[in-house]
Amino acid sequence: MTYRVCFVCTGNICRSPMAEHVFRARVAEAGLAEAVVVDSAGTGGWHEGDPADPRTVDVLEEHGYGSGHSARRFRTSWFPALDLVIALDEGHLRELRRLAPTPQDAAKIRLLRSYDPGAGDRLDVPDPYYGGREGFEECLEMVEAASEGLLAAVRDEVEERTR
């Protein structure tokens, strides 16, 4: 049975596609590509159909990640098919919980940095859109740091399903 993870930010052109590509690479490295599907979306539809922000693409490619992307808006109807919905900041977390049709769906929503023990109480990944390249580099560092803990959690879930 496939395990499905969706990363969610505001417009689906900066943070969530970055998280999607980094986590997809971690899943592949762990040999779980056949068991785990990774994608992303935004809470708003302003950029639907657009590629990722060029700064996101540059940072991803310079660090050896893929970057192909087409922005889309998160749909409430996706909840039943998803196992984990990963919000990039508290605002996304609140919006996703508001959209969740059931308590079981709301329980699927987590903050990405909650998987990074080094994050402390700073669980938001700041939006780099209105800043310079350094914000995109910082975003990548945060995403990479959280991806290891997220991978461990997803691996445990996948293994539990196969028992």
28 CB burial (10 A radius; 0-12, 13-18, 19+): middle
CATH of the domain at 115: 3.40.50.2300
The total number of structural domains in the chain stands at: 1
Task: Note the pTM of the prediction, 2 decimals.
Answer: 0.97
Quick check: helix, strand or coil at residue 3?
strand
For residue 48, give the DSSP letter. T
User: Domain residues for 21?
Assistant: 3-161
Please name which of 71, 106, 65, 64 lies closest in space to residue 85, comparing C-alpha atoms: 106
Q: Is 156 a catalytic residue?
A: no
pLDDT tens figures, 58-77: 999 999 999 999 999 999 99
Looking at the DSSP bridge assignments, the partners of residue 8 are: 41, 87
Catalytic residue, chosen from 50, 58, 83, 127, is 127
pLDDT tens figures, 28-54: 999 999 999 999 999 999 999 999 999
Q: Dihedrals φ, ψ of 14, to 5°?
A: -120, -80
Q: Is 75 a catalytic residue?
A: no
Catalytic residue, chosen from 6, 14, 15, 55, is 15
